[in-house]
């Protein structure tokens, strides 16, 4: 800062811009390359190699200060996949705390964003990613056998979703503002804790979101067993009216689940973390403008992502620039369904969390805001560049010309979209369930590809649940 103060007043803004450019100049290239290598290790099911690669890249500077949340999301998931549940829970906790802090905006980061891209701001995660932090933290606690810890996460999920519902009413509605899967998981945990009325409320909310929102927004058929869970919880909490209302949707399976529970049977629940989650890349649009109010682009928000338009001719005096927007890359899972079998008990998994679809709709909802911010950012860059070229005469004029040309080229070279996302998530979460007698069981998983996997030593107590988590890629 002393260097800036020592310069003539006319040069200070230019040097400040140059310093900002140099601070953010390396962009996200190293982070994107790192996540590509992590993906390669994950496809080989080498989660230890993926974790080591991620951490080394962090030490080498691939993830910057503003990328901490994105890094911790990836690190926490890889720790979870390597069954380091305590470490995973700790990282997810640190990550969640940071997302809370980020409600206070950083002015310095916003200045950087004005000269480079939104990637210069702190990443706080998408709304659904922030809920999934608690979901996977609960999974980590279940992996440690710490049911109380999982219950704490259930309460946090409930508080977070209540906040989302309030914000949807007061700050404008995003398509994703409730989470049917998270509500269902809450109900499951409440029921295991014998908090049957809380379980009933959570199951009811889950069923409502599945039927009234997720079926239309994401094309997901409501999993039939959620109605059965609602019916069972209503019966256990003596909510006869609620039970009667849920009975038709639950069908015979709902009554059978109540009979199984009363007979002292237990349940094995499979969480199939299916496929690889979405990532982002750059999508470039060409724009021309004369002033902040007069611009045209060959693409604009519309449809599922971006609608193409046409620029026939560039009028005299207009400036041509390229602008980067984040484009989602999704990978369809290789496996559609999984059969789980134990003796005569046999069940087929059902999709409960369509993460690819949720991510796509979330980006679509934000694209209008992203588009406007990118236009403003680009105009700011060009005006700064032109201001540098108009410094004055003599040495100042020559310096201004060089800075104008250099900064203009560098601004366009630095143009990139914010490509941060929680890439180690699955494409979707599928769930299968079977009721069994108390004892130790071997569960057979049969993939639609013909692959089979036996999971021995699954111990289930009377009236209890045991969870199996299985990840497949791609």
SS3 of 304-330: CEEEECCCCCCCCCCEEEEEEEEEEEC
Q: What is the pLDDT of residue 274?
A: 98
Q: Measured between alpha carbons, how far is 274 from 331 in angstroms, rounded to an integer?
A: 11
Q: Which CATH number applies to 25-121: 1.25.40, 2.50.20, 3.40.50, 1.10.150?
A: 1.25.40
Alpha helix stretches (DSSP H) within 107-266: 107-115, 127-144, 147-170, 180-192, 196-209, 215-218, 224-236, 240-262
Q: What is the pLDDT of residue 114?
A: 55
Is the CB of residue 338 less than 8 Å from the CB of residue 447?
yes
Q: Where in the chain is the domain with CATH 1.25.40.10?
A: 126-263
**Nearest-CA neighbor of 358 among 419, 426, 417, 300?**
426
Report residues of the chain scoring pLDDT below 50.
1-7, 10-11, 13-14, 16-25, 107-108, 399-404
For 357-383, write each residue's pLDDT tens digit.
999 999 999 999 999 888 888 877 777
Q: Measured between alpha carbons, how far is 402 from 18 in angstroms, rounded to an integer?
A: 12
Q: What is the pLDDT of residue 302?
A: 84
Contacts of 145 (CB under 8 A, 6+ apart): none
Q: Fill in the DSSP letter of residue 473.
A: -
Fold of the 126-263 domain: 1.25.40
Angle, helices 394-414 vs 12-24, to 10°: value is 30
Label residue 221 exposed, middle or buried (CB < 10 Å: 0-12, 13-18, 19+): exposed
Q: Measured between alpha carbons, how far is 248 from 227 in angstroms, rounded to an integer?
A: 9
Is the CB of residue 81 less than 8 Å from the CB of residue 47?
yes
Label residue 145 exposed, middle or buried (CB < 10 Å: 0-12, 13-18, 19+): exposed
Is the CB of residue 313 less than 8 Å from the CB of residue 319?
no
Q: What is the pLDDT of residue 202?
A: 96
């Amino acid at each position: 800062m002393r260097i800036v103060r020592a310069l003539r007043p006319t040069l200070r803004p230019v040097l400040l811009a140059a310093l900002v450019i140099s601070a953010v100049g390396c962009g996200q290239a190293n982070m994107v390359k790192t996540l590509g290598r992590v993906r390669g290790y994950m496809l080989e099911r080498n989660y230890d190699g993926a974790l080591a690669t991620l951490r080394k890249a962090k030490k080498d500077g691939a993830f910057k200060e503003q990328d901490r949340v994105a890094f911790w999301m990836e690190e926490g998931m890889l720790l979870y996949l390597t069954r380091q549940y305590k470490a995973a829970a700790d990282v997810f906790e640190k990550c969640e705390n940071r997302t809370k802090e980020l409600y206070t905006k950083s002015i310095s980061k916003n200045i950087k964003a004005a000269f480079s891209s939104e990637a210069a701001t702190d990443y706080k995660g998408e709304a659904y990613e922030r809920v999934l932090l608690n979901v996977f933290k609960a999974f980590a606690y279940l992996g440690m056998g710490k049911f109380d810890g999982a219950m704490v996460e259930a309460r946090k999920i409930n508080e977070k979703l209540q906040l989302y519902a309030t914000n949807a009413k007061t700050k404008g509605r995003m398509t994703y503002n409730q989470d049917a899967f998270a509500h269902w998981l809450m109900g499951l945990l409440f029921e295991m804790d014998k908090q049957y009325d809380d379980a009933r409320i959570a199951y009811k909310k889950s069923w409502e979101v599945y039927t009234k929102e997720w079926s239309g927004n994401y094309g997901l058929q409501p999993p039939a067993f959620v109605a059965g869970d609602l019916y069972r919880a209503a019966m256990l909490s003596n909510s006869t009216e609620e039970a009667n209302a849920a009975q038709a949707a639950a069908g015979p399976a709902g009554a059978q689940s109540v009979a199984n529970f009363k007979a002292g049977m237990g349940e094995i629940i499979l969480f199939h973390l299916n496929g690889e989650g979405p990532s982002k890349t750059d999508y470039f649009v060409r724009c021309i403008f004369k002033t902040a109010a007069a611009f045209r682009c060959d693409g604009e928000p519309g449809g599922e992502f971006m609608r193409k338009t046409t620029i026939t001719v560039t009028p005299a005096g207009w400036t041509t620039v390229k602008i980067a927007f984040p484009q989602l890359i999704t990978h369809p899972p290789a496996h559609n369904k999984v059969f789980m079998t134990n003796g005569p008990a046999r069940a087929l998994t059902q999709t409960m969390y369509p993460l690819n679809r949720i991510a796509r709709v979330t980006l679509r909802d934000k694209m209008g805001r992203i588009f406007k911010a990118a236009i403003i950012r680009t105009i700011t860059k060009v005006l700064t560049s032109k201001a540098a070229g108009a410094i004055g005469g003599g040495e100042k004029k020559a310096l201004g010309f060089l800075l104008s040309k250099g900064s203009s080229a560098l601004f366009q070279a630095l143009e990139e979209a914010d490509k941060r996302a929680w890439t180690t998530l699955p494409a979707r979460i599928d769930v299968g369930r079977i009721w069994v007698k108390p004892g130790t069981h071997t569960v057979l998983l049969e993939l639609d590809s013909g692959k089979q996997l036996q999971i021995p030593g699954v111990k289930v107590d009377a009236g209890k649940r045991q969870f199996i988590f299985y990840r497949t890629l791609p």
